[in-house]
Amino acid sequence: MRILRRLIVGLRTLVMRRRHDADLDDELGAYVSAVADARIAAGMGRAAAERSARAELGSRAAVRDLVHDVGWEARGDRLWCDLRRAGRGLRARRWRGVFVVVLLGVALAANTVVFSATDSFVLHRLPYPNASRLIELGEESPFAGGGWQSSIFPETLPVWRGFTDLFSEFYGYQTQTGLSYVATGEGPRFITCASVEPGLLDVLGARPVAGRLFASDDGRAGAPPVALIAEELAREEFGSPQLALGKTVAIGNLSPTIVGVLPVAFRFPSGSERIWTPLDVAALAPNRSVSTVAIAAPGRSVEAVASAVWDRGPAVGGHASPPRNTIKRETRARPIGAGLVDSRLRRLFILLCAAAGCLLIVACANVANLELTGALARARLQAIEMALGASRGSLVRTALLEGMAGVAAATSLAVVLASSVTTWMGRHLPAKMTSALVNGLDVDARALWFMTAIAAGVWALTSLPVAVAAARADVLDTLKLDARTLSGSRQSTRVRHILTAAEMAVTVLVLIGGSLAVRSYNALLAIPKGFDTTGVVSVDVRLRPGDDSTPQAVNEMLLKQIRAREDVISASFVGASPPATAGSSGGALIIDGRPDPLGQVQLGPYDADADFFAKTMRLPIRAGRDFRSDDPPNAVIVDELFAKRFWLAGDVVGARFRTGAGWPGILENGGYYVVGVAAHIRTSRDGLTSASEQFFPIYRRPVPLNPFSILSYAVRLKDARGADNLAAMIRALAPTAILRVQTLEARYGEAFANEGLAASVMSAFGGFAFVVAMVGIYGVMAFFVAARTREIAVRLAVGADQAAIVRMVVASSVRVVAIGVGAGTAGAFAAAQWAGSLLFGIASADPWTYAGVAVAVVVTGLVATWLPARQAARIDPVIALRAE
Amino acid sequence: MSPTDRPSALVQGTLDMLILKTLALEPMHAYGIGIRLDQISKGVFQVNAGSLFPAFRRLERDGLIKGEWQVTENNRRAKLYALTPTGRKRLKDQARDWEAQTSAIAAILNAKLSDV
């Protein structure tokens, strides 16, 4: 009741403010008259009595303020006043305000973009309900560093599903590489598909935007084939999700009917699947493998389930048909998503986050510097305000509010910038990077929270120096000093110098990081490929299944036509073109005649025909021989590095070895049989994989084509510019095929997309920080010169020459620049030790990079100082002193 | 008593009570209240306008006093403050509390070891 009463009274006071003020004024007038009357009655003269009465009351405005301060509404009133003052302050900043907003906006946006990318790429949250209770089963090699394989044998799946004490739900799925040729409305496209058991999508929280999910008997033998497609595919191919229902897509030689459309945000198992078909595990051949998603039973922790799976694994394995692997693998369980993030990528993104953070620090230091300069210039004004009765608290409040308004404007700008950059990234980053993401690349609620948090930090950082300056403002001292001497005062100069040095240090840090990243990327690109890549293009032809002509026939026809071209030196059929590592297979390496496995390897197959080594790739055979037509199907030519790593010189030719699983025709014939050793060619994993999982190329005879094979050719042209003509010819020969023609150089470039992205982002950050820092040092020195105009004029008047003035100004910045560059270099050195494993072909302490950056920053810093210095030397003492 | 050692600083919150008491005797205008406090306290409490007017505003908002413009004996307009029934009740409560507190404090200050 009392609260309500107070509320009403306060509101009434606010509404009737003028009447109340008039009433108070009348009352104060009456008070003065009453005092004067009393004094006159006591014998004082009228004039003297009135004067003394007024003196006794003091300032009417002050009494009025005291009365205004009564009541809750006074606080809102004060805030409104402060807001108006802050608004005036911001307007008075003009270009400086715009600069601050843009600077902070860009820095905030950079941090938000890097954060959301890190969030998607590294933190890898699963966008499914119950994400923390989702488990996948897989097999792990018992050898140290053995790889994890996220699949089990289909015949064990029903057994695992039967353990209802461990799992409340258990489903299988498969991704169908090689079966994903889809002909929809517009024509053939390559789209990745997944087969999922009915029910799995419900568990993962999929909600169709049109149609339905799978019913329990979808996918069973005899049921009509159905499919779900992604919303964006529905829009591209059919116009809208509704229109897509009832249409068909061609997947391989099937034409399932579309029964539902899933929203854009739904991604499973990765970001690249656009079509889902129902899976019937019972119908799978026993030698296929199936991936799993399970939910831990209520009351069971994921760890408890994992250990139970470990215990029951051997018994379940007994249900499997005869083990195909000579190497034992053990069934394990782990949380879904546990192994998705590789440590290099994590380290890379931590580094990018750090760089973005540095950028923010540079921006903050710069803004704080600018604000401090402005605040000192306004110190006189503040002193006058204080003399007139403004409280220290209100000055600090105004400073904080001005900062807040600036940061709020910058944050709005940052939201716009960050969302457009992220959208752009989603479209333009190499598909290799984005397709694996279960989370879309976007500025989501988490990113916005993050941005708000750092914006608050920025606000504190940039407003604090100004607020402190306002809180310590001293009326008398400030009014006594003239504005120019004050702004150059020793203490404030020191603060600004510290800020500038910090800015320089962080800039040097980011620049060195950027330079190392760029040089490392260039080194990656420049590594010898092991063969002459000039003029070599790769041609991938994906045929439409079910077309009349067989792949064999198309292959022969295409090879014949390509080889017949005048501009073609040589053409070979290859399983994949370098630097691809797709289709690799491996496990623990066992060499015949040696009892123990020698380690974990992955071997990536390249098909090599008669022209491959000699003409097309021009890849030297180092030992043994090239393939012969009578070689058995398990004959291989191994990579030089592979041979050196596992065999003594010379004894590799004729050796036999196995790697757990292998391609068809290898294990049946007693493992790989080495006929030769080829020079090492560079693959996309060179220098990037850890020692525990090494990848080596391996060459085999071309294997028979199946209906879903991709026909890949390496073609050596006389001139790589002929690639377009070659593509046009193939398109005419196979009009329904999906075609990709690329130079090998371009393929190598694409393979290092992560490093390329890091290099470009780091150098962009470095460049931005550099410009900002230079503007910062220029601003500080220009202000310094302006503040000392009078002193410089006096020096000139008493005979100092211009060179001496320039020296004096430049000398004052040399120390700042030197300290900043020194600290930055030391910081970069320490950071590079940690990030050293990300670098390739360049030492983390590379002296040229450090020296180059240091020299560039010092020289630019001195130039930025020299401009105001020259201006200072041109001061006309007569004019400057007269102006005083 | 020199101005510096005069106990002019009122105990926090007591000014409102003193004003209420003054008005309980008779309705008065601002200057009169100040003078009356000065007289009764024999010059110990000299309350200036900067304290009086905010106090009036506080008491008026709480509905303890009510101001009304009237013409004084000197033929001047003045705002006369009078106690409301709520104000009278509040004064009674506060005076009782005050008595209890001061007698307790006095007892403590005059305490001797033999009393304990």
Task: Provide the token pair at A574.
Answer: 């290859």
Task: For A498-509, write each residue's pLDDT tens digit.
Answer: 888 888 888 888
Percentage of residues in chain B having pLDDT higher than 70:
88
Work out the minimum CA distance from A33 to partner chain B, whole angstroms: 9
Closest CA to A181 of A590, A550, A544, A504: A544
3-class DSSP string for A690-724: CCCCEEEEEEECCCCCCCCCEEEEEEEECCHHHHH
B57 touches chain A (CB under 8 A): yes
Average pLDDT of the segment spanning A770-783 = 78
Closest CA to A297 of A131, A159, A133, A137: A133
Q: Compute how many other C-beta atoms are within 10 angstroms of the C-beta atom of residue A439.
A: 19
pLDDT reported for residue B21: 92
B70 touches chain A (CB under 8 A): no
As a whole number of angstroms, the distance between CA A558 and CA A577 comes to: 17
pLDDT at A484 over 60: no
Sequential DSSP letters for B17-77: HHHHHHHHHS-EEHHHHHHHHHHHTTTS----HHHHHHHHHHHHHTTSEEEEEEE-TTS-E
CB contact under 8 A, B76 and A24: no
**Are the beta carbons of A571 and A611 closer than 8 angstroms?**
yes
CB contact under 8 A, B29 and A58: no
Average pLDDT of the segment spanning A168-188 = 66
Closest CA to A423 of A209, A123, A117: A117
Mutate to test the interface with B, among A32, A70, A73, A77 (most CBs of B within 10 A): A70
Percentage of residues in chain A having pLDDT higher than 70:
86
Task: Provide the token pair at B9.
Answer: 């600083």
pLDDT at A217 over 80: yes
pLDDT reported for residue A716: 92
User: Residue A514 burial (CB < 10 Å; 0-12/13-18/19+)?
Assistant: buried
Q: Compute how many other C-beta atoms are within 10 angstroms of the C-beta atom of residue B4.
A: 6
Closest CA to A643 of A617, A679, A670: A679
CB contacts < 8 A (A, B) = 61
| Sequence-ordered list of residues with C-beta below 8 angstroms from that of A15, at least 6 positions apart, any chain | none
As a whole number of angstroms, the distance between CA A193 and CA A178 comes to: 10
Query: What residues pair up with A664 in beta bridges, in sequence order?
Result: none
Composition of chain A by helix, strand, coil, percent to 5? 55, 15, 30
φ, ψ of residue A334 in degrees (nearest 5):
-155, 160
CA distance from start to end of chain B: 35
Q: pLDDT band for A260, please (50, 70, 90 cuts).
A: very high
- H and E: helices and strands count for chain A: 28, 25
Average pLDDT of the segment spanning A5-15 = 84
**Are the beta carbons of A478 and A368 closer than 8 angstroms?**
no
Average pLDDT of the segment spanning A337-342 = 59
CB contact under 8 A, A71 and B61: yes
**Are the beta carbons of A375 and A383 closer than 8 angstroms?**
no
Q: Which of B50, B69, B74 sits opposite A66 (nearest CB)?
A: B50
Q: Which is more confidently placed, B99 or A365?
A: B99
Amino acid at A247: K
Amino acid at A215: A
State the DSSP code for A799. T
Q: Which of A9, A26, A37 sits opposite B74 (nearest CB)?
A: A37
pLDDT at A135 over 80: yes
Closest CA to A817 of A782, A788, A776, A867: A776
pLDDT reported for residue A214: 92
As a whole number of angstroms, the distance between CA A68 and CA A568 comes to: 92
As a whole number of angstroms, the distance between CA A245 and CA A171 comes to: 26
Chain B window 13-32: which residues touch A at a Cβ cutoff of 8 Å? 29-32
Helices (H), A627-752: 640-646, 723-733, 744-751
Q: Which of B31, B57, B78 sits opposite A70 (nearest CB)?
A: B57
Task: Provide the token pair at A399.
Answer: 């400073």
Chain-centroid distance, C-alpha B72: 22
pLDDT at A448 over 70: yes
pLDDT at A181 over 60: no
Helices (H), A214-336: 231-238, 241-244, 302-317
Task: For A604-654, write each residue's pLDDT tens digit.
Answer: 778 888 888 888 888 888 888 888 888 888 888 998 888 888 887 668 888
CB contact under 8 A, A34 and B49: no
State the DSSP code for A314. H
B38 touches chain A (CB under 8 A): no
pLDDT at A556 over 70: yes
Q: What is the Cβ-side half-sphere exposure of residue A685, based on CA atoms within 13 angstroms? A: 17
User: Residue A593 burial (CB < 10 Å; 0-12/13-18/19+)?
Assistant: exposed
Work out the minimum CA distance from A359 to partner chain B, whole angstroms: 52
**Are the beta carbons of A510 and A355 closer than 8 angstroms?**
yes
Task: For A685-727, write each residue's pLDDT tens digit.
Answer: 765 555 556 778 888 887 777 766 678 899 999 888 888 889 8
Give the total residue count for chain A. Answer: 884
- Predicted ipTM of the assembly: 0.89
Q: Which residues of A touch B58 (CB under 8 A)?
A: 70
CB contact under 8 A, A9 and B61: yes
pLDDT at B102 over 80: yes
Task: For A305-317, write each residue's pLDDT tens digit.
Answer: 888 888 887 777 6
Q: pLDDT band for B95, please (50, 70, 90 cuts).
A: very high
Which of A57-66, A223-232, A233-242, A707-716 is least confident?
A707-716
- Strands (E) in A197-237, as ranges, are 210-211, 226-230
Mutate to test the interface with B, among A17, A33, A77 (most CBs of B within 10 A): A33
